[in-house]
Structure 1
């Protein structure tokens, strides 16, 4: 039987344990029981790992958190309350409690009043890890963050070894960063790492770029994220797709929830831009694409990725992920041919009829990395420029203060470049995320009786019109629970 940590050539090879951190955030990991039953772990192996890691044992956790709020497949995390290593020698049991992780955050514990600097583990769902050692179990895995336990004595004579891990029980009602670093009821794999693999994961830093309030052990910021409209809030974009005709004016032809985060590092300016959201309602026969245009200075450059998922699924729509090249302003195509991916059985109307059961809409994500930081004042103001392209008409539909941008649309050719009608009514608008779309074919002025006053006053009065809906004429959609 081969020792769990060595290849045929005697190299240290990382391996996972059969025990996991359970869904209640508590793990008791027997370090002498590899997941692969054909392998053996003992004191001599642990000592080899300790020597390889300069007097420490290095562990990885495969963080497995569901996509919710700011946690996505690209970035999710947990926090550590405590780590205890109990080593049994022939005549004594020794406990080691000093551990370290690369990332921390100020987090408020459930039931506490103040936030404290707390070690964190951050990762993503990619399964593309690669080890220089072909015997390492890390290759092809989704192992994520590393934490280390200092051990100041040889382990050759160890006859028992348990790693006790307790996740930090955050106050989930506090929003981010607490909501991001919660643990959400899934088992987490734990592995023992060679120095090469531990350093690889430290350098790779999976998911770290998109995590909120990432700090080092001193509390200094590694990346600061500004969430728009807020860490737990979304912009809601609602559209009428018969532009330039007014249509039934129910403002549910397409309804989209989205959030954007601007990331700044140690240098001044925005160096990363992230975003995510959902299609939450569709009350149209027409097919749409949904874009988000973010204005950047002409000299800005960089690259990124967009992802569009099938409804209630981690499966990407064909054609995604898609690469993005940044050269000045960027038009992000985040949902393409929506009619093919958002329907209710045979109906093209989703979440717009009173009797309809709410269907979870497709999710989208994007990430941009800029080659050089852009001053925040040179990034276009939120809510940016969310717009649709209507395939059947060839028109773009934007917010009232925006202009058409697509070369293949009819807007400029037809002179249809103003997105208000002659009575000042818009064809697209942004509302807060407590807005409930009108039911199909219900004019928004009937669903929200003070909307007319708001529009006719150019927004000077009835600014809370969206809170005054008629309950029998609107559809509540709890998309934040998706």
Structure 2
């Protein structure tokens, strides 16, 4: 059977949906007739559970798993000032998933099997493997709901209690136009001022063998400056007569590589003589940025339009291939690879931020600085970065808490109950569950009556069992005039499997609870996040501790079975399509899909921008119809910020 939906959207008042009559205005977009033909059984899900299977017989090998998306999308033209003070307008590009870490683990007894909740449009995963201090990675496909990785390397006999390996320690050397040379510890963000430079600079790079830092002065005659790290001394090699923002040292040939605009130069660091030059093809912006060589010798360059890989083509030019530039809220002015081949960047600001970027996925995060929101503030500009790596061959990595996971891989090295974390929808992303609250009456399908943003963090022990759950929640929209509560049900757990629930927000007096914090008179474990969405605070962290460690497949994946309680009527629950009610919900049967074919709730693995009041979701999102009428097989990313998906004028911020 298929639902035939024909409706005329009328502008009228439904008390449960609209807080005040005076706020409503007639909109021509709300009076159009829409026809949808929705396949029977379609549950409007935008995400799916994927089973990740990792097989690795080498003890202590750690895995980190990320979403992977190859698609890059234009974010339009942005105008900004570059390092030279020039005002430019450039097109900025984006990929879908930036903040994409979902899963970390050391396989137990050689195996790990774990379910993660992944957006339907994600077809691949990026798997990073760490054995001791050695890294490798692979992109794997998701096939029939399963993504498998099998490591076939030989066993190396690691002693899990104490691993004797060379300890690699990095220091980030930084320069700026004010003539400051200073270092930053990448482990904690601590900075140390080293020296005043002969001239301020936009550039620096390090010859790691000889421990020499090179920098080019920012103004004419653009001296090539040389800093000997061991003796803390400066000298000028020569005046280059050319300046610019990008400088790198190639350890494989011992030469300096400098770039300005769309040209790449090679210089002899001992004399400053130009040895070669090439054109760079395909940069979307030629302003700002930096360049550096990865450990394998690959050359990367960033400009204000993002990160690129450079490769010589048949014409003797360097062809650029875009890696990432996802509507970056910062202008990259520097980059350096650390000993783990992770890419560090900084931005152009009075007090710069340090950013980590993955060169495979283009995902990034603020690590230090004001934007990292972790209490660090450098108070100075970082115009360029370089890495100096030192090695301690006598270092021993230990397992302080005795949980069989070495401290370097353990997210809680002093807590034997916790070793890893998993994230839904991702380490830095949020998901949204949005509800209409007029069930079973007709709604306006703007999905802003209650909208809950969430990130779930599951804490895993060394046996890959779940011991604790944090739910970080914000009621991003509560436009309803009703007093609505928000809860979740764990469909595979009973209340006695929960040891404690803390930090829920209970303001009213219409619910009862067990001593462990779960809702009373329920067969399954039910947690009430808040009993009044209007009063719920932002970034609320609810912690659920389990009585005994749980198989993660039994726990399930966030958002679990979320629901709202409508207007303090405990029997009136609204759930996602085809999800079951709790024991306290009414006996009235419902699949939570209206006769018109629309759902009463929708779950998005994304920070969903809800439509404005009375704006039907079909008017706010151009491809919702296509997605729904094809049963989700087309336009799977209809809700993302990809160009053409949204009508921003109809969306709340």
Normalised by the length of structure 1, the TM-score is 0.48
Bigger strand fraction: 2
User: Which structure: greater helix fraction?
Assistant: 1
Please, what TM-score do these two structures have when normalized by structure 2? 0.36
